[in-house]
């Protein structure tokens, strides 16, 4: 729950999501402090609408100290820091090295869940991303591009079950299919690079399904799609992107919709049927 007097810290990684959340909160009258991670966060976050501090991405102690000095009460984890960075141990400060060393493994949910626990233990409440950017959540149904074709339904249904399974296993959030065959599965490289790889392998005509885990902690790692992902999908010859209604962010739906129309890409938001299947309202 956000109270009027709270100062909210947006811990900002890469992408447009931190910028959107900061604007949303600032526009709603909240006192916003952006903690930008150097080398990841967009320099455009340094703007007069809120106070911005810049922090070494590999110095966890510096970040905690900065949030405390900024009198932040609640924080939001927004944007991406590459999972592959866990292999750059020579860059880590003592606290971050100890934090990673004490985790049971280095899967994304373990790292991010541990970070939430660390922030909470230091007096910061970590807010759900859906609470600070509700305008980004799509409703169920056909959203943009050509209507769904009957021949696409089997890949939508198979992709939904497979994407949920790999998300539940904390492998990734995205699976790409063509004609019932799995072309590519996301791991550390992220969705856009997975799409690029699928385009090379498949020669186009792929379906992309991107989902969160069934028990996803909504304080971190919400599946997010922006216009760049649509552009990559068009370059790869893809023709369908499926996300989950109410549990995925669509950044700038107007721009995404325009690109889908231009490139002939169908954008669909489904809901889980309860038995692992997918449903979407007819247009």
CATH number at residue 145: 3.40.140.80
The owner of tokens 């949303």 is: 24
Last residue of a domain, one of 103, 132, 161: 132
Pair (167, 113) in one structural domain: no
Pair (103, 164) in one structural domain: no
Pair (156, 262) in one structural domain: yes
C-alpha 114, offset from chain centre:
18
Q: Report how far apart the first and last C-alpha atoms of the chain are (Å, whole number).
A: 35
- State the Cα–Cα distance between residues 261 and 267, nearest whole angstrom: 10
Count of domains observed in the chain = 2
pLDDT of residue 165: 96
Q: Angle, to 10 degrees, between the axis of helix 94-101 and the axis of helix 108-121?
A: 120
pLDDT of residue 282: 78
Would you state the torsion angle of the CA atoms of residues 66, 70, 73, 74, taken in this order, to the nearest 10 degrees?
-60
User: Is 198:183 a contact under the CB 8 Å cutoff?
Assistant: yes
- State the Cα–Cα distance between residues 129 and 112, nearest whole angstrom: 13
Q: Is residue 100 part of a domain?
A: yes
Q: Is residue 123 part of a domain?
A: yes
- For 189, the domain range is 137-279
Tell which residue, 200, 203, 201, 254, has the closest CA to residue 230: 254
Tell which residue, 85, 122, 82, 121, has the closest CA to residue 100: 85
How is residue 243 written in tokens?
A: 């996300």
pLDDT of residue 241: 98
Pair (27, 66) in one structural domain: yes
- State the Cα–Cα distance between residues 266 and 14, nearest whole angstrom: 26
Q: Is residue 124 part of a domain?
A: yes
Pair (104, 176) in one structural domain: no
Pair (192, 112) in one structural domain: no
**Positions of the chain with pLDDT lower than 70, given as ranges:** 1-5, 88-90, 283
pLDDT of residue 6: 79
Q: Is residue 1 part of a domain?
A: no
Q: Is residue 79 part of a domain?
A: yes
Q: Is residue 2 part of a domain?
A: no
Last residue of a domain, one of 105, 132, 159: 132
Last residue of a domain, one of 132, 159, 179: 132
3-state SS string for the chain: CCCCCCEEEEEECECCHHHHHHHHHHHCCCEEEEEEECCCCCHHHCCCCCEEEEECCCCHHHHHHHHHHCCCCEEEEECECCHHHHHCHHHCCHHHHHHHHCCCCCCHHHHHHHHHHHHHHCCCEECCHHHHCHHHCCCCEEEECCCCCHHHHHHHHHHHHHHHHHHHCCCCCEEEEECCEEEEECCCCCHHHHHHHHHHHHCCCCEEEECCCCCCCCCCCCCEECHHHHHHHHHCCCCEEEEECCCCEECCHHHHHHHHHHHCCEEEEEEECCCCCEECCCC
pLDDT of residue 42: 92
pLDDT of residue 86: 72
Pair (167, 34) in one structural domain: no
The owner of tokens 């660390």 is: 118
Q: Is residue 247 part of a domain?
A: yes
Q: Is residue 197 part of a domain?
A: yes
Kindly report, residue by residue over 248-258, the tens digit of the pLDDT: 999 999 999 99
| CATH code of 72's domain | 3.40.50.20
Pair (119, 183) in one structural domain: no
Pair (112, 237) in one structural domain: no
How is residue 96 written in tokens?
A: 């971050």
Tell which residue, 213, 270, 166, has the closest CA to residue 278: 270
Pair (31, 159) in one structural domain: no
Kindly report, residue by residue over 176-185, the tens digit of the pLDDT: 999 999 999 9
Pair (121, 201) in one structural domain: no
Pair (202, 261) in one structural domain: yes
pLDDT of residue 61: 96
pLDDT of residue 69: 96
């Amino acid at each position: 729950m956000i109270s009027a007097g709270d100062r909210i810290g947006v811990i900002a990684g890469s992408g447009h999501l931190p910028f959107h959340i900061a604007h949303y909160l600032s526009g709603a009258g909240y006192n916003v402090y952006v903690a930008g991670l150097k080398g990841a966060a967009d320099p455009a976050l340094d703007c007069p609408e809120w106070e911005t501090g810049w922090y070494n991405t590999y110095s966890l102690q510096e970040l905690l100290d900065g949030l405390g000095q900024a009198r932040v009460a609640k924080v939001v984890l927004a944007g991406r820091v590459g999972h592959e960075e866990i292999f750059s141990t020579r860059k880590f400060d003592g606290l971050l090295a100890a934090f990673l060393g004490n985790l049971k493994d280095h899967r994304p949910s373990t790292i991010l869940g541990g970070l939430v626990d660390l922030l909470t233990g230091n007096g910061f409440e970590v807010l759900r991303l859906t609470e600070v950017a509700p305008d980004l959540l799509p409703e169920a149904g056909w959203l943009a591009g050509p209507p769904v074709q009957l021949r696409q339904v089997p890949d939508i249904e198979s992709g939904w079950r497979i994407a949920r399974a790999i998300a539940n296993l904390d492998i990734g959030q995205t699976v790409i299919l063509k004609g019932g065959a799995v072309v590519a599965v996301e791991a550390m490289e992220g969705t856009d690079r997975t799409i690029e790889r699928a385009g090379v392998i498949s020669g186009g005509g792929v379906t992309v399904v991107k989902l969160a885990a069934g028990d996803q902690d909504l304080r971190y790692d919400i599946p997010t799609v922006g216009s760049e992902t649509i552009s990559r999908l068009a370059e790869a010859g893809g023709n369908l992107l499926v996300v989950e209604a109410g549990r995925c962010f669509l950044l700038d739906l107007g721009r995404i919709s325009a690109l889908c129309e231009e490139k002939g890409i169908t954008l669909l938001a489904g809901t889980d049927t309860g038995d692992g299947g997918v449903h979407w309202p007819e247009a």
